[in-house]
Amino acid sequence: MSAETDPLTAAVGTDTGETPILRAEAVEVAFSSGVGPGGGRGTARAVDGVDLDVAAGEIVALVGESGCGKTTLARTLLGLERPTGGRVLFEGAPLSHRSRDLRDYRRRVQLVQQDPMGSLNPRRTVYESVVEGLRIHEGTTVDEYERVARALSRAGLRPPERFLSRYPHELSGGQRQRVVIAGALILDPEVLVADEPVASLDASVRGEILRLMLELRENLGLSALVATHDLGLAWNIADRVAVMYLGRVVEVGTVEEVLSAPEHPYTRALLSVLPDSGVEEGPVVLGGEPPDPKRVPTGCRFHPRCPVLASGEAERAGVADMCTSVDPEVLAGGPGHRTACHWAARVGGPESPRTVEGPMSS
């Protein structure tokens, strides 16, 4: 199934020419990291040139190992980090970092944090935690109680009156996460940015929170960017998937394209450890040093750990020298299956990126 005719993609508007509700455009975020190689001042390139779109009503999963830059990118899209290069656009307009503009923006784009126990004040009741954002933005309003109750109900805490006076320690892990989500919903946002939203939860309740996010998209038309290391989560919740490695998106496409027919060796390695992944060669153990944003390799940033290069496949395809010397182009935003890999471009035929079809093996 091509990206042009995929009904899921068409349904969320990534293929209709509409302006994405949220866009990262050549975004870079670099941090000073003390002394660098050669004795000069070091720089960690946490996000190193990322283009990424989120369409209205779409859920995009941003996938990668810890340290790949996905949390920094998520914080930048929220306006919590200022990009050192590129820009963030909301409904086609560049994000301004002036206080008044950020205040309005953060009403419309809300964060869902990964650790509900850590993000909820243990001395505050559920009511006090959920109403906090409303009071910050609007002060005390006559309909405050109704709005808190509605947010809790939307987050699946029903009847809300049962939970208003409870404290975090009196709730289950799943209920605490629903309180965090209710705190984001109270301002009626258009986009949720969720950083590992189920990582701290028991497996038994993860599915409930994922179903809730899908219901919020269906009932409220919300868009979401979900940063996660969990490919199973991405498969179950996302319309599109972007895979990050060392500050750069290395593969992007619909969930079926990326997770059923991965093209980048890094994506294939991530998938290979999952049961019934469909990756023929079995589990892939990545060698080499862990990625370091202070020391981005020349050429493809994945080449020191790439099993395709190590096995000689890249040499046989005639791209080994390119892998170690030429940085693949930054992937553009928008629809289509794209891969930042010299080997995938060569073996995929004269046109790259190529489109694929078929569900994940079960």
Amino acid at the residue 180: V
pLDDT, mean of residues 284-310: 91
Residue 333: the pLDDT is: 84
Residue 284: per-residue pLDDT = 84
User: What would the mean pLDDT of 25-31 be, rounded to a whole number?
Assistant: 97
14: pLDDT strictly greater than 50: no
Answer whether residue 212 shows pLDDT above 80: yes
Mean pLDDT of 139-162: 97
Q: Can you read off the two tokens belonging to residue 127?
A: 């009511």
Considering only CA atoms, which of 181, 212, 178 is closest in space to residue 194? Answer: 181
Within 13 A of 85's CA, how many CA atoms are on the CB side?
Answer: 13
In angstroms, the CA 43 to CA 36 distance is: 7
pLDDT reported for residue 34: 65
Note the pLDDT of residue 278.
58
The confidence score (pLDDT) of residue 135 equals 96
On the question of pLDDT at 166 being above 70, the answer is: yes
Mean pLDDT confidence for 323-342: 94
Average pLDDT over residues 309-326: 97
The overall longest dimension of the chain from CA atoms, in Å, is 71
Q: Is the pLDDT of residue 361 over 70?
A: no
53: which strand partners?
Answer: 23
Residue 181 has pLDDT above 90, yes or no: yes
Q: Can you tell me the distance from the alpha carbon of 25 to that of 202, in angstroms, rounded to the nearest whole number?
A: 36
Q: What per-residue confidence (pLDDT) applies to 352?
A: 38
Spatial separation of the C-alpha atoms in residues 306 and 124, rounded to whole Å:
49
Label residue 38 left, alpha or beta by phi (over 0 means left) and psi (-120 to 50 means alpha). Answer: left
Q: Sheet harboring 41-54: ordered strands across?
A: 41-54, 22-35, 85-90, 93-94
159-167, long-range: CB < 8 A, 24+ apart: 163/126, 164/125, 164/126, 164/127, 165/125, 165/126, 165/127, 166/125, 166/126, 167/122, 167/123, 167/124, 167/125, 167/126
Count other Cβ atoms within 10 Å, centred on residue 324. 17
For residue 64, is pLDDT > 60?
yes
When pLDDT is cut at 50, 70 and 90, the band that residue 273 belongs to is: confident
pLDDT of 183 above 70: yes
**Residue 146: Cβ within 10 Å count:** 11
pLDDT band for position 17 (cuts 50, 70, 90): low
Mean predicted confidence (pLDDT) in 16-38: 83
pLDDT band for position 110 (cuts 50, 70, 90): very high
Per-residue pLDDT tens digits for 88-108: 999 999 999 998 999 999 999
CB-neighbour burial class of residue 108 (10 A; exposed 0-12, middle 13-18, buried 19+): middle
State mean pLDDT over 245-258.
97
Q: Which pLDDT value is given to residue 302?
A: 97
Average pLDDT in the chain: 88
**Beta strand 109-112 pairing with 191-195:** parallel
C-alpha closest to that of 129 among 167, 80, 75: 167
Measuring CA to CA, how many Å separate 31 from each of 24, 42, 168, 193, 195?
Answer: 18, 8, 35, 22, 20
Residue 317 φ then ψ, to 5°: -85, -5
pTM beyond 0.75: yes
Q: How many CB atoms lie within 10 A of CB 50?
A: 28
Percent of the chain with pLDDT over 90: 75
